[in-house]
Chain A
């Protein structure tokens, strides 16, 4: 991929939360409509319709791979449709699929869709799924391991190794909530929270309290991706994809490439630096940092790795308010899984779409003034991989 070869020209999103009456099909059709409208293109210009997997299974997955979406949207010019999944990293792998299709020349316009409805499942079904999803069925699950306990272990190890305090961990939840309060589609956008409130919320997996854990929710988003050439013709302010860098580590945390929790940054930092280098930009040029943490500690480890603070010091940075609205390092400007809501494979999509909105100047109350470039990441599994992407509303020389 050469720098700025592809661009996003429009996005769509529905409110995130508990909406049991709103099916995943309705979400998919609606976000597609909104993205097409936002991009200002004719639906028949779309040559490929890609969808992300609905997790915990759904008729939606079968229907999507049997070609339901282009038909329902009325994308009469569609030539290719498929579903791409790599769990939490799906927003990245699906975009790579879109790039490949655009690169082939078969079409110059791709529609990418994510939809999820968790509210169709019972609490126990979800608890069971998320015990197994993050953990190894043979080696972890028999010990009562859960996704929350995985994040709790990483938090405990990170705090012990770096001297970061639990108050600083709580500050991540506080900052995410502040951003969510500026987002009309966020699940929790009514009231800000304090460090004290986060710490005094119910203990779930020590040292994590419930307000340090994400909440599963229904939601979805979509975007239209084109070649940069077309983007310049049809869109006033496209968001160009400037560079990516990726790395895979493991299935289970016990076989992570980096063994010590205090040095997880040594896995992430080279990926981020490679992405910066490929974009010809550095952390100083970034207006926004869209970090997919899903748990506060992961956001801290990511912030440690992207060149804005010394490793192990991100907790202090977050507690200072630097990552909050109005701060020097606007981070996860939609409030992310912690406050926007965890929509399965959609957390990465939500952050990506929010980043695009910011660069297009369409982020409303959350708008970071003069946003030009941003760094975004995603990753899936039990922190199995990491992908950093640099986006910009201009292509640097």
Chain B
């Protein structure tokens, strides 16, 4: 039995929170829907901002482009949630929340999927996978690279 039935919760109580894009981050989510992981890069100084902001946080230039990331990354650190998570994630437990450092140098919070929790190791190579969590949103997640 899921947490919804167990505690007699409403649909709203167990609805997964979705990203709320800003004007400057919307392309990121439009691109993940197409199966592309993209990053906002400054055309003047080359700085990548993740999360993206209105203008470059390095030089304040508004001149930017979205580049496709390699989809390669490394596991920096992780936690395995097994209790006391918000109701929408209750039935997913245990799940891995991790810091992933992309080959492009930026770091993201994500889930590590398709993995044996006992075999996770900081520094291990990861590759991006796309999870269509709703009709509107696709989240980039990560799995260990198979050797």
- Determine the distance from Cα of A143 to Cα of B20 in the docked complex, in whole angstroms: 13
- Can you list, as one digit per residue, whether each of A137-156 has a CB less than 8 Å from chain B (1) or not (0)? 11111111110111011111
Can you name the residue of chain B whose Cβ is closest to the Cβ of A127?
B86
Beta-carbon contact of A146 and B108 below 8 Å: no
- B1 CB-CB contact with A under 8 Å: no
Taking the complex as formed, is A192 at the interface, i.e. its CB lies under 8 A from any CB of chain B? no
Please give, as numbers and ranges, the residues of chain B lying within 8 Å of A205 by CB-CB distance.
79-84, 97
Q: Decide yes or no whether A135 CB sits under 8 A from chain B.
A: yes
Mark out the residues of chain A between 119 and 136 whose CB falls within 8 Å of any chain B CB in the assembled complex.
124, 127-128, 131, 135-136
- Considering the complex, which residues of chain B in the window 70-118 have a beta carbon less than 8 Å from any beta carbon of chain A? 76-89, 92, 94-95, 97-99, 101, 106-111
Mark the stretch among A237-245, A247-255, A268-276 that contacts chain B. Answer: A247-255
Which residues from chain B contact A142 at a C-beta distance below 8 Å?
16-19, 133, 137, 139
Interface residue? B46 (CB, 8 A): no
The answer to the question of B50 belonging to the interface, with a C-beta cut-off of 8 Å to chain A, is: yes
Partner of B79, one of A128, A208, A254, A255: A208
- The reply to whether the CB of B34 lies closer than 8 angstroms to some CB of chain A is no
Q: Which listed residue, A154, A206, A252, A253, touches B80 by the CB 8 Å rule?
A: A206
- A56 CB-CB contact with B under 8 Å: no
- List the B side residues contacting A253 at CB < 8 Å: 99, 109
The minimal Cβ–Cβ distance linking B30 to chain A, given in whole angstroms, is 14
Beyond A138-B20, A157-B76, A206-B80, whether A254 also contacts B86 by CB under 8 A is no
The reply to whether B95 and A252 form a contact with Cβ atoms under 8 Å apart is no
Q: A138-B19, A142-B137, A144-B97 known; A157 and B77 CB under 8 Å?
A: yes
Contacting pair A139 B109 (CB below 8 A): yes
- Assuming A142-B19, A146-B84, is B77 touching A153 (CB within 8 A)? yes
List, in ascending order, chain A residues with CB within 8 A of B18's CB: 142
CA distance A124 to B83 in the complex (A): 13
Question: Across the interface, which residues of A come within 8 angstroms of B85, CB to CB?
Answer: 127, 131, 144, 146, 149
Q: Do A136 and B51 touch across chains, with their CB atoms under 8 A apart?
A: yes
A128 to B86, CA, bound (A): 6
In the assembled complex, the CB of A145 is this many whole angstroms from the nearest CB of chain B, namely: 5
Q: Quick check: A149 and B79 within 8 Å, CB to CB?
A: yes
Q: How far is the CA of A146 from the CA of B107 in the complex (A)?
A: 17
Q: Does B68 contact A (CB under 8 A)?
A: no
Q: Is the CB of A152 within 8 A of B83?
A: no
* B77 & A261 in contact (Cβ 8 Å cutoff): yes
Interface residues of A in 196-212 (CB under 8 A from B): 202-208, 210
The smallest beta-carbon distance between B5 and chain A, in angstroms, is: 16
Shortest Cβ distance from A213 into B: residue? B84
| A113 and B21 alpha carbons, distance in the complex (Å) | 37
Q: How many Å lie between the Cα of A156 and that of B121 in the bound state?
A: 10
Question: How far apart are A330's CB and chain B's nearest CB, in angstroms?
Answer: 31
CB-defined contacts of B141 to chain A, threshold 8 Å: 143
Kindly state the separation between the CA atoms of A161 and B16 in the bound complex, as whole angstroms: 34
Determine if B65 is an interface residue (Cβ-Cβ < 8 Å): no
Q: Is the CB of B97 within 8 A of A143?
A: yes
A140 / chain B contacts, CB cutoff of 8 Å: 109
Query: Could you list some 20 contacts between A and B, CB below 8 A?
Result: A137-B19, A139-B108, A142-B16, A143-B139, A144-B81, A146-B81, A148-B81, A148-B84, A149-B79, A149-B85, A149-B97, A157-B99, A160-B122, A202-B83, A204-B82, A205-B81, A205-B83, A206-B81, A206-B82, A210-B84
